[in-house]
Structure 1
Amino acid sequence: MSPLHGADSTGSGYTFNAIDRCMEHSMKRRRRGTRSYQPTNVRQTLALCMIVKNEETNIDCCLESVKGVADEIVVVDTGSTDRTSEVARQYGAKIFSYQWDDDFSAARNVSLSHALSDWILVLDADEALAEEDKGRLRALLRPDGPTAYLLNIVSPVDDRRNSHAVINAFPRLFRNRPEIRFEGRVHEQVSPSIARMGGTISPSEIRVHHRGYHGRWVDLPVKRQRNIRLLNQQLHDHPDDPSAHFHLGEVYALEGKVAEAIECYRTALLLPGLPPSNRSVARRSLAACLLNRRRFEEAWQECVAALDEDQGYAMPHLTGAIALTQLGRYEAAARQIDLYLAKVKRQGRSIHGVVGHEPNPAYAWSLKGNCLFALGQVEQAADCYRAALAVDRDSPEAHLGMGKVYKFRGRGAEAATALEKAAVLFEQMPQGRLTLAETYAELGRWAEALTTCEAFLDVRPNDVGGLTLQAQALLKVGRLTEAEAAYRRLVAHTPSGLAYFALACLADARSDRREATAFCRRAWELERSDARIPFLLGCCLLEAGEYREALAVLLEAERLAPGTPEIVQRLQLLARLVQRERCEMRHPALPLQKGGTGGFVMRGATCIAPHASLLTPHASVPHTPHPIPYTLDPVAEDGRSPP
């Protein structure tokens, strides 16, 4: 991504003899005629420069991709014990050995020193030039024009979902000049040296397919640990290097160390010298981490700041939309999604800035559908889900959305078909485990929902969405003691009205009126839009003889869910009790027992079952399902799962 500053441009392994060789090659070219006077029709030559170690299984694909493009292949082997060098020789590569010293720049600069061609192309063994771009790349090799070109490195998040690829724009094609050298122990770049010589870097549409960060749920931890070690070494030598802090934040985010990632991003943004294009990316990545911590307002503000830094960057709109949905600001979220879709439509094959994502309009349309569904605009939501399926017929989010639409319309068979399809698709996505669990919950398959959710929590033990669904699933499968323990852990971690309400229901099931009342009061403080909470609180207060307060909260329940029979019954009962109390002013009110007075039953069949049905809205009580299943694997910049 961004250049690392302050590192020795030659690197510890880049000897003066290598510099002399580069100068000698440069002088030979100058004796043949300086670049400024070369005729533009002279064919420019290209050297592929690589560093490798134990890449026997990858290097063949890489070298095959540059057949007919590269005139020269230079391979620096840093200690292979397999057939890497043997495979490379079959393609005519020149092989050089180099003792690895924890410095990628040093090794890369050795490879550059052996190149004799006019231009240099840098690829890793797990990368391959796109077949359709061979001709485009050759066309860029001209004596005039920029010093270097950005190539678009496409890294799919998962083999089965290439549309979720992350794209990084790196200067990987540049003129063979001794002044141009890599810098930085890891995430090495030639950009600083090109800037010092007054050179220019231009974008291109050339794509390179990268397979090195494909992975399952936690991909390639060894590489990440290596990068953390090297970046910490870089920061030991240069503690105020903002790019090193930024890249360390990226690796920590991939590792799931969100608190550490947040600290690194904030440090990078505070230090001077972080390139503007990287500042916007850092803010978007910071926003993704804040989403993971459920700090939604902060996440949204970072997305706003990212757009202030770079108006052309599309991803902050999508990340910001996720934050806004979690804040319940669905109309604003839908507007951000529209802006995202407009920008990615104009994007083309290249990306804006230094990092982007393979456009994923199907996910964006599904997200907009969720927002409209939450606003009660069901038909418009269905249109969005259909638009998503028109782009990607295997979009699991769109099938999940259509399943909810069908369920809302009472079309049970079609709902089941759509939700089953979503479940199959989410099952193929390791990053979608939590959403898969939520899909099972929509299908009423709570045992499977619990198993899948617990597998997700094995990897993300503190994810609030996972903890919430686990508690609900335990309740649904009848493991009430475990459910109560889960909800208590949840309110200790992240208090919410619905979690306290669940605890109130469980206390009510145990006939613990005092605890049920206390939990209801806490739930009502945090959540004022769910009629079930004041209804249960009113029932508890009626039992306790607190008629005045019971009247107030039951009227609130009636306001939120007008005409609901159970609420009407409680209000009628309350009116009868108050009337009798007035008639018997000389006598204390008799305590109200379960079983009721005058034919009314406080709780039970005619009101609400002690634990289960309170957690499932009555058909007559309007209820908006949570619009966005929250799963963020903080992802998403460098091989992470999509926001």
Structure 2
Amino acid sequence: MIVRNEEQNLAQCLQSVKGVVDEMVVLDTGSTDRTTEIAKEWGAQVYYFDWCDDFAVARNFALKYVTGEWILVLDADERLVSSIVPQIKQAITQEDCLVINLVRQEIGASQSPYSLISRLFRNHPKIQFNRPYHALIDDSVNQLLKQEGRWKIGSLADVAILHEGYQADAIARRNKQQIAKQAMQSYLAEQPSDPYVASKLGALYVDMGEIAKGLQLLTKGLKQLNLYSKYEEAEADDSLFYELHYHLGIAHRKKQNLAEAKHYYEIAIKANILPQLKLGAYNNLGNLLKDTGHLLEAKAAYEMTLQIDPNFVQGYYNLGMTLRAMGDYAEAIAAYQKAIQLDPNYAEAYQNLGVALLSAGKVLSGLEALKTAVALHQKSDPTEAERLRQTLQQMGFNL
């Protein structure tokens, strides 16, 4: 792993692999806090690197110190899921396996809660990272597969890594968006035909409000991917195919191009990738359908998210919103309650549960849910708490 000023996260990360891995190699890129001391306390070998605004260069530098046969790459704001360890140990016994792709759960992500990442691979001298941000081994692996045909790529379907870095406060605290934007813009200037960077940077533009610029770059990236597949006589990267269509759906939705957004979400859903990686597209498609009055279709989309992941909190909440709009208060209440069971601090779920209970004539239970919603909003959004409180007072309820 490469780190910098990670004293808040590092111990939890290293604890998750302690006793699982044979060695821990930590490359520090300029910490001014207790990061290196914590790494040493957990038994890690600590090395140092002068940061050069390029994650790939740093990761490749760290690889030089690895002695094991297999390499697991983690960031400090990630941790290994203990239940996946037996599967990992079994997977790496396959003599012809070069890379094991792992599912990462994005804790607090507002869009896709899962991603598939190539973070477990053989310690092969030709495997190297490239791209200064979102550094990947994929290009070197593809070259190796062409040169040495005996290798294959594997994957594990269960969640292997938990990632905290997409929580809003973490992104703001580390200025992640600006750092990513600067690094990817520089790389794109050197590699203007790279569809992967076009996808990542285009999505970032959209997320930062530069929607027209993001839409243009995502469209360009999709054309580049299609051209690569045509002229290289190769199959398109399935995950990149999904991401480009998915983020084009988001961009068009923000521009209120609803037909185009629906079109891109539906194509994304057809991508040949693990079902849990499609949750964002199914959920966003459901939102679009719900907001345009296609409630039965929206209900089906949300039910699909829950079929894929029975613990998808947002799916239960959105299903509750749809059922309430359909007048099915009993089922809506059950959906909200399931969301709250999975996330007891879900203020909006309590708020809409209260409304559904009042609509169903269950006044006391409804007021109790609304009271809890006000208390939860007060902690995270006092303005919303006051707005809800005043609305209820206007309705004759004093909480």
Bin of the TM-score, shorter chain as denominator length: 0.7 to 0.9
Partner of 2:195: 242
One-letter code aligned to 1:195: N
C-alpha separation between the residues in 1 aligned to 2:183 and 2:175? Answer: 12
Q: Of 368, 375, 378, which residue of structure 2 is paired with 1:424? A: 375
Partner of 2:300: 335
Q: Say if 1:417 and 1:294 are closer, same or farther in 2 by CA, change over 3 A.
A: farther
Partner of 1:305: 267
Q: Check conservation: 1:416, 1:443, Cα contact below 8 A.
A: no
Q: Of 165, 184, 193, which residue of structure 2 is paired with 1:212? A: 165
Partner of 1:155: 106
Q: Is 2:152 aligned against 1:200?
A: yes
Partner of 1:9: none
Q: Say if 1:320 and 1:444 are closer, same or farther in 2 by CA, change over 3 A.
A: farther
Query: What's the CA shift string for 1:477-515, capped at 9, x where partnerless?
Result: xxxxxxxxxxxxxxxxxxxxxxxxxxxxxxxxxxxxxxx
Partner of 1:58: 9
C-alpha separation between the residues in 1 aligned to 2:181 and 2:321? Answer: 38
Q: Say if 1:140 and 1:429 are closer, same or farther in 2 by CA, change over 3 A.
A: farther
One-letter code aligned to 1:247: K
Partner of 1:406: 357
TM-superposed CA distance for 1:200, in Å, is: 2.5
SS at match of 1:106: helix
Q: Say if 1:116 and 1:433 are closer, same or farther in 2 by CA, change over 3 A.
A: farther
TM-superposed CA distance for 1:244, in Å, is: 0.6
Q: Of 129, 138, 142, which residue of structure 2 is paired with 1:182? A: 129
Partner of 1:505: none
Partner of 2:392: 443
Q: Of 265, 281, 288, which residue of structure 1 is paired with 2:250? A: 288
TM-superposed CA distance for 1:374, in Å, is: 2.5
C-alpha separation between the residues in 1 aligned to 2:166 and 2:20? Answer: 26
TM-superposed CA distance for 1:182, in Å, is: 0.7
Q: Is 2:137 aligned against 1:172?
A: no
C-alpha separation between the residues in 1 aligned to 2:298 and 2:124? Answer: 49
Q: Check conservation: 2:199, 2:217, Cα contact below 8 A.
A: yes
One-letter code aligned to 2:25: V
Q: Is 2:285 aligned against 1:320?
A: yes
C-alpha separation between the residues in 2 aligned to 1:183 and 1:252? Answer: 22
Partner of 2:233: none
Q: Is 2:207 aligned against 1:258?
A: no
Q: Is 2:44 aligned against 1:97?
A: no
Q: Check conservation: 1:269, 1:279, Cα contact below 8 A.
A: yes
More deviation, 265-274/215-224: 215-224
Q: Check conservation: 2:6, 2:76, Cα contact below 8 A.
A: yes
| Structure 1: segments with no counterpart, 5+ residues | 1-49, 346-358, 447-643
SS at match of 1:244: helix
Partner of 1:492: none
C-alpha separation between the residues in 2 aligned to 1:411 and 1:95? Answer: 60
One-letter code aligned to 2:392: L
Aligned alpha-carbon RMSD (Å): 3.2
Partner of 2:231: none
SS at match of 1:197: helix
Q: Check conservation: 1:77, 1:98, Cα contact below 8 A.
A: yes
The aligned runs of 1:105-116 (5 Å cut-off) are 105-116=56-67
Structure with more contact order per residue of length (Cα contacts < 8 Å, sep ≥ 6): 1
C-alpha separation between the residues in 2 aligned to 1:330 and 1:252? Answer: 31
Q: Say if 1:440 and 1:249 are closer, same or farther in 2 by CA, change over 3 A.
A: farther
C-alpha separation between the residues in 1 aligned to 2:123 and 2:302? Answer: 43
Query: What's the CA shift string for 1:126-152, capped at 9, x where partnerless?
Result: 322233444443343326141111223
One-letter code aligned to 1:306: A
C-alpha separation between the residues in 1 aligned to 2:187 and 2:314? Answer: 38
C-alpha separation between the residues in 1 aligned to 2:356 and 2:42? Answer: 57
The aligned runs of 1:327-476 (5 Å cut-off) are 327-345=292-310, 359-360=311-312, 362-386=313-337, 388-389=339-340, 395-428=346-379, 439-440=388-389, 443-444=392-393
C-alpha separation between the residues in 2 aligned to 1:281 and 1:444? Answer: 45
The aligned runs of 1:4-19 (5 Å cut-off) are none
Q: Check conservation: 1:297, 1:323, Cα contact below 8 A.
A: no
Kindly, what percent of the aligned residue pairs are identical?
27
Partner of 1:3: none
C-alpha separation between the residues in 1 aligned to 2:12 and 2:45? Answer: 17
C-alpha separation between the residues in 2 aligned to 1:265 and 1:377? Answer: 39
SS at match of 2:59: helix
One-letter code aligned to 2:166: Y
Q: Check conservation: 2:112, 2:279, Cα contact below 8 A.
A: no
C-alpha separation between the residues in 2 aligned to 1:390 and 1:209? Answer: 20
Q: Say if 1:206 and 1:149 are closer, same or farther in 2 by CA, change over 3 A.
A: farther
Q: Check conservation: 2:333, 2:357, Cα contact below 8 A.
A: no
More deviation, 413-422/330-339: 413-422
TM-superposed CA distance for 1:258, in Å, is: 3.5
| Structure 2: segments with no counterpart, 5+ residues | 146-150, 229-235
Q: Say if 1:208 and 1:239 are closer, same or farther in 2 by CA, change over 3 A.
A: same
Q: Say if 1:267 and 1:387 are closer, same or farther in 2 by CA, change over 3 A.
A: same
Equivalent residues, number: 377
C-alpha separation between the residues in 2 aligned to 1:164 and 1:235? Answer: 24
Partner of 1:279: 241
Q: Check conservation: 1:65, 1:130, Cα contact below 8 A.
A: yes
SS at match of 1:125: coil
Query: What's the CA shift string for 1:493-540, capped at 9, x where partnerless?
Result: xxxxxxxxxxxxxxxxxxxxxxxxxxxxxxxxxxxxxxxxxxxxxxxx
Q: Say if 1:429 and 1:245 are closer, same or farther in 2 by CA, change over 3 A.
A: farther
TM-score (ref. length: structure 2): 0.82
C-alpha separation between the residues in 2 aligned to 1:441 and 1:300? Answer: 37
One-letter code aligned to 2:191: H
TM-superposed CA distance for 1:438, in Å, is: 7.2
Query: What's the CA shift string for 1:379-413, capped at 9, x where partnerless?
Result: 44445445545655654444333322333345544
Q: Say if 1:375 and 1:437 are closer, same or farther in 2 by CA, change over 3 A.
A: farther
TM-superposed CA distance for 1:103, in Å, is: 1.5
